[in-house]
């Protein structure tokens, strides 16, 4: 009997999975993944203490000239802020702080990924 090999998961999905594991080790509690709020998506919504972090994950297979975290331009930041505002409005919780974090993942074909967490990466 022949078995088909599972197709490899896309690079971005593997990067998000690695980011989730990293965030959990750093003490975050993952609340949601790939949440659409309006027209825009937030990769990960997590809690760290009394703070909700809206986390953007950027994954590359190699370290190019531009690090993954530097590819989040003003337009993308604006979209993340818009989605986050919908979440904040729905939560209606004055005792919670909010911030925008970035997880940069370099996912080589072999070996362990290099993961960098940037707390409060851009303002809201």
* pLDDT, tens digit, 9 for 90 and up, residues 28-76: 999 999 999 999 999 999 999 999 999 999 999 887 788 899 999 999 9
Q: Residue 2 domain-assigned?
A: no
Q: What is the side-by-side strand order in the sheet with 29-37?
A: 29-37, 40-48, 51-60, 97-106, 114-122
Q: What is the mean pLDDT of the chain?
A: 91
DSSP tag of 66: S
Whether 115 is in a domain gets the answer yes
| Band of pLDDT at residue 111, cut at 50, 70 and 90 | confident
Is residue 1, in this structure, part of any structural domain at all?
A: no
Residue 3 lies in a domain: no
Is residue 79 over pLDDT 90? Answer: yes
Nearest-CA neighbor of 17 among 96, 121, 115, 122?
115
Buried b (16+ CB within 10 A) or exposed e, 72-99: beeeebebbbebbebbbeeeeeeeeebb
Residue-range definition of the domain harbouring residue 84:
11-122
Q: Which residues are bridge partners to 25 per DSSP?
A: none
Model confidence at 1: pLDDT above 80:
no
Residue 118 to residue 97: CA distance in whole angstroms: 17
**Which 3 state secondary structure label does DSSP give 110?**
coil
Is residue 70 situated within a structural domain? yes
Number of domains in the chain: 1
Q: Is 112 a domain residue?
A: yes
Please check whether residue 5 lies inside any domain of the structure: no
Is 6 part of a structural domain of the chain?
no
pTM, to two decimals: 0.89
Which CATH number covers residue 41? 3.40.1350.10
pLDDT for residue 12? 87
Contacts of residue 36, defined as CB under 8 A and 6 or more positions apart, other chains included, come to 83
Return d(Cα 116, Cα 73) in angstroms, integer.
18
| Range with the largest mean pLDDT of 24-38, 80-94, 103-117 | 24-38
């Amino acid at each position: 009997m022949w078995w088909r090999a599972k197709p490899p998961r896309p690079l971005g999905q593997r990067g998000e999975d690695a980011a989730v594991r990293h965030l959990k080790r750093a003490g975050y509690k993952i609340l949601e993944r790939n949440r659409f709020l309006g027209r825009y998506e937030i990769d990960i919504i997590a809690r760290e203490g009394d703070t909700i972090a809206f986390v953007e994950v950027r994954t590359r297979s190699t370290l190019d000239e531009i690090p993954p975290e530097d590819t989040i331009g003003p337009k993308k930041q604006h979209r993340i802020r818009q989605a986050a505002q919908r979440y904040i409005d729905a939560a209606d919780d004055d005792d919670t702080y909010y911030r925008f974090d970035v997880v940069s993942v370099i996912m080589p074909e072999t070996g362990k990924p290099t993961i960098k967490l940037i707390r409060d990466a851009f303002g809201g």
